[in-house]
Amino acid sequence: MSTARFTVPKLNLTQLLKAPGGLPVQEAVAAAQANLSSLKPLCMGELHTLLEAAEKTFAGLSGYDEAGVTTLYETAVKGIGLGDVCGAGSVDVALHSLCDLLDHFRTHQRYDAEAVSVHLQAWRLLISTEIPPAGAQAVLGGLNRVSAKYSAPAES
Amino acid sequence: MGLDPNSRARFNLKDASVLLLDETQLGMTILVQIVTGLGAKNLHRCGDIESARSAVENNQIDLAIVDSLAATGQGYDFVEWLRRDAGEPNCYTPVLMTTSHTPRSQISRARDCGANIIIKKPFPPITVLERIIWSSKEGRKFLFSDTYVGPDRRFRNVGPPKGEKGRRREDFTATPLPQGQATADEDASADIEGGPELSGD
């Protein structure tokens, strides 16, 4: 039988946060946001670099290949969060859908080049073009439906 | 948990020793820009598990913001090590776990590693601040057991699950919530934000 012990620790952070001085929430959040804004060009550049790497990996895949799909996953997952910083938040959603898709492939050992291709095309579209929010939503809805299709094992 | 971004309330992170773990250079830069904007100055920037362990072994850490390192999930291993093997006081350090994507195979690791909360990327600065303040609240029990070490994932005792006989002493006194309110299980999953789906903000 397992044993369990509870304690209620004193946290140093609790006292530090209450220490005199510090910053008002409004000022701190604005400063952090301004810091992030300075990273926009870097993040956009990185999204382009990752996309090119993903397209290269994809071009070398002809069917289910654990190592190739993993490389593609590792590339896509690095991009999540960068879109929001450079004002292209819909890219993060597209990359999340791509990671879901690739994770489904690894789980069920399946592969569909068309499903990956449509995600990569959307990635390029969403970072290269200013599309209206409704259009972006339609694209993302389509991507999510594609990745959801592969969440279950293939019917034999 | 909502914190008004226009609040004039003050908080002080200046003297907090903050560990940041992210393997990508840009991911680390984003984290640094957020926490320095929030006023943190004493940062331990770690690009891998080994340097993060070393930072914990040589410093008192007041707050850790740890990426799950999605491809391998090593971030979960680090938090588990922190909770089980780092010793006091660092084993109690509030941990905000960040994640880009959680593969299906890692969902239970995310739930059980012992992080105070999981934040899905992208996360705006206000979300990070909210979670820091929330994680710093004292009074939350900390559990040591064979299978889990970390903050108690239950927020309210509403008794055993429906139809189950309670096994704890307190189960005999728990008053059920009125219908429509959250259950203990729902609250526990809200701890690891969004539960297994690990939804962000």
Are β-strands B117-120 and B95-99 bridged in parallel, bridged antiparallel, or unpaired?
parallel
- Looking at the fold, whether B172 and B116 belong to one and the same domain comes out as no
pTM score, whole prediction: 0.85
Residues in A touching B126 (Cβ below 8 Å) = 29
Say what the pLDDT of residue A55 is.
Answer: 98
CB of A101 within 8 A of CB of A116?
Answer: yes
Please report, as a single letter, which amino acid is at residue A115. A
- Looking at the fold, whether B51 and B123 belong to one and the same domain comes out as yes
Residues in B touching A24 (Cβ below 8 Å) = 7-10
As a whole number of angstroms, the distance between CA A11 and CA B60 comes to 11
Which range of residues forms the domain containing residue B80? 17-138
- Name the domain boundary from B138, B164, B183: B138
Question: What does the pLDDT look like over B118-160, one tens digit per residue?
Answer: 999 999 999 999 999 999 988 889 999 999 999 998 766 667 7
Say what the pLDDT of residue B101 is.
Answer: 94
Question: What does the pLDDT look like over A117-151, one tens digit per residue?
Answer: 999 999 999 998 788 889 999 999 999 999 999 99
The beta-carbon contacts of A98-101 under 8 Å, at least 24 apart in sequence, are: A98/A123, A98/A143, A98/A147, A99/A73, A99/B70, A99/B100, A99/B101, A99/B103, A100/A147, A100/A148, A100/A151, A100/B101, A101/A146, A101/A147, A101/A150
Tokens of A134: 């409704």
- The verdict on a CB contact (< 8 Å) between A4 and B33 is no
B122: closest CA of chain A, how far (Å): 4
Tokens of B27: 């991911």
- The verdict on a CB contact (< 8 Å) between A4 and B144 is yes
- Please name the residues in contact with A151: beta carbons below 8 A apart, sequence gap of 6 or more: A100, A104
- Looking at the fold, whether B118 and B130 belong to one and the same domain comes out as yes
Question: What does the pLDDT look like over A17-47, one tens digit per residue?
Answer: 999 999 999 999 999 999 999 999 999 999 9
Q: B53 in helix, strand or coil?
A: helix
Question: What does the pLDDT look like over B57-111, one tens digit per residue?
Answer: 999 999 999 999 877 889 999 999 999 999 999 999 999 999 999 998 888 999 9
Domains of chain A are: 40-149 (1.20.120.160)
Residues in A touching B35 (Cβ below 8 Å) = 32
Chain mean pLDDT for chain B: 84
Q: Poorest-confidence range of A85-99, B1-15, B17-31, B33-47?
A: B1-15
Q: Which residue has the higher pLDDT, A102 or B179?
A: A102
- Looking at the fold, whether B89 and B75 belong to one and the same domain comes out as yes
> Residue B6 falls within a domain, yes or no?
no
- Looking at the fold, whether B26 and B113 belong to one and the same domain comes out as yes
As a whole number of angstroms, the distance between CA A57 and CA A46 comes to 16
**CA dist B110 → A29, A78, B105 (Å):** 28, 18, 10
